[in-house]
Structure 1
């Protein structure tokens, strides 16, 4: 499934252009700080398999005031490089590739 162009940001990693997007509004689970923030990445010119990155931070727009850090372009670039090393093929069709970086996330209960 391709990312919508609206709200997607452009990033270049090793000479390849990607687009990434973070949901503006958190899911219900993210809003209650039960699950961490996630974002999606795809190849800008030939979208195929989408990379879904799970962070170890709460969504910044959560309802409980859980403190998190914004997702920075450098975080996205590092996640892309790691996913490529782990076998993500961004131009081939297929199921989303999940990169779990949620170690250390503790849900607020």
Structure 2
């Protein structure tokens, strides 16, 4: 699965360039703050897309419908997520199923 270039941001982590983005519109579950926001990451260079990283953050989507306060996803958070995924076995240049990284510890769903 290739990441849509439109709306993605570039980040360099440990000498490798990646692209990352999150969906501007929340899913139904994210809109009601039942699940946290997710974003995707992939290697920016190369003609062949590798494995996509899907990160589940620990905060509400900023476009939620119930006015729950949400902070921004900062490049430092993305970089740390990439490093953690690499430690857990994510190989961004290999072809395969998306790699899931759950960083939602402490997220509480809203009633």
TM range (shorter): over 0.9
Alpha-carbon distance in structure 1 between the residues aligned to 2:55 and 2:24 = 15
Could you say what secondary structure the match of 1:11 adopts?
strand
Deviation above 2 Å: which 4+ runs of structure 1? Answer: none
2:107 maps to what in 1? 105
Alpha-carbon distance in structure 2 between the residues aligned to 1:71 and 1:25 = 15
**1:87 CA drift (Å):** 0.6
Aligned length: 109
Deviations 1:33-90 (A, max 9, x none): 0100000000001321000000110001100011111100000000001101111000
Equivalent position to 1:82, from 76, 81, 84: 84
CA RMSD of aligned residues (A): 0.6
- Residue 13 (structure 2) pairs with residue 13 (structure 1): yes
| 1:39-78 equivalences in 2 (<5 Å) | 39-46=39-46, 47-78=49-80
List alignment gaps of at least 5 residues for structure 1.
none
2:35 maps to what in 1? 35
List alignment gaps of at least 5 residues for structure 2.
none
Alpha-carbon distance in structure 1 between the residues aligned to 2:59 and 2:71 = 7
Q: TM-score, normalised by structure 1?
A: 0.98
Could you say what secondary structure the match of 2:12 adopts?
strand
